[in-house]
Amino acid sequence: MISYPYNLHSHTVLGDGNNTPEEMAAAAYEKGFKTYGFSEHSVLPWYEEWCMTPYGQSEYIKTVNKLKKEYEGRMEIALGLEMDLNSDYSKNQLEPFDYIISSVHSVRGSDGKIHYADSSEEKMLKGIEVFGSAEKYAEAYFENVIAAAKADYADILGHFDLLLKYNEREKFIDENDGWYRDLSLSAADEVAKAGIIVEVNTGAISRKKRSVPYPTAEIIKYMNEKGVKFILSSDTHATDTLDAFFDESLELLRGCGVKTLCAYGNGKFFEVKI
């Protein structure tokens, strides 16, 4: 039995995932999910392999809507979008989607270039170099996170502290340093004020980059005290990690004092006890 039968963050071959939407839905149904949401990466103003193209997005919408009908009455399928802060959608373009995960994957440096936080350790280091220090890089990153949390389209804030993706192996940032704690906690304050649902994301654990979900336990505790609502998601890219590390994360959340989680069903968000 799956402990928390919901997941709204997932990718397929239509983005940077490994399986087709049909394969993901079939595996989710087999696992006993009540709601399974697709959240392919939004179209960017420039080409990126991991993002959808405008044509790819129309195929994505068609495919997921077809799956919705196919699983009707057995498992709820939801059509989501992981909106990168660099994307630019009109209200009309957002219409087809049931929910939006608002995510930051990069920061723009003084060189005018985009520096990704999650694509590789080298690119992350390059970003820090361009910004001159990890502190300056983190400042720019969290400014973007605050903007993502305040975006009017946003339902869920994706991976709050993605900039720590490679930090367990090699310490680019000392998370206990005063400057990092001040910066991340003040960003957490702004996120709490925005009233957005915050995602607890296990993706980096299944990709063996981290041993704990985003955000860190300290941030979860802090946000929980500020009344933030959380949702658990696997950010899965394959059929074998649909609910990866859900049990461990539920334990961690309980340890942080979290008593309920958001879930999605019948087209809306609601809370479940954990």
Binding site for Zn ion (CB under 5 A): 82, 103, 235
For residues 7 and 234, the answer to whether their CB atoms sit within 8 Å is yes
> Could you tell me which residues come within 8 angstroms of residue 136 by beta carbon, excluding any fewer than 6 positions away?
none
Phi, psi of 165 (to 5 degrees): -50, -45
In degrees, rounded to 5, the angle at the alpha carbon of residue 102 between the alpha carbons of residues 99 and 107 is 160
Count of CB atoms within 10 A of residue 56's CB?
A: 15
- The least CB distance from residue 17 to Zn ion, in Å, is 9
Give dist(CA 97, CA 85) in Å, integer: 17
Minimum gap (Å) between residue 32 Cβ and Zn ion: 22
Indicate the residue among 70 and 147 with the shorter CB distance to Zn ion. 147
- Report the residue number, 130 or 156, with the smaller CB distance to Zn ion: 156
Nearer to Zn ion by Cβ, of 15 and 109: the residue is: 15
Amino acid sitting at position 266: N
CB of 216 to Zn ion, least distance (A): 17
* Phi, psi (rounded to 5 degrees) for 15: -130, -120
Judged by CB, which is closer to Zn ion: 83, or 258? 83
User: What is the smallest separation between the CB atom of 163 and Zn ion, expressed in angstroms?
Assistant: 12
Name which of 17 and 109 has its Cβ closer to Zn ion: 17
Which value, in Å, is the radius of gyration of the alpha carbons in the chain?
A: 18
CA distance 232 to 101: 12
Q: 3-class DSSP state for residue 13? A: coil
Q: Write down the least CB distance from residue 250 to Zn ion, Å.
A: 20
The alpha carbon of 148 is separated from its chain's Cα centroid by a whole number of angstroms, namely: 11
User: Which residue matches tokens 């906690």?
Assistant: 185
Minimum distance, C-beta of residue 248 to Zn ion, in the bound complex (Å)? 19
Residue number with CB closer to Zn ion (51 or 77): 51
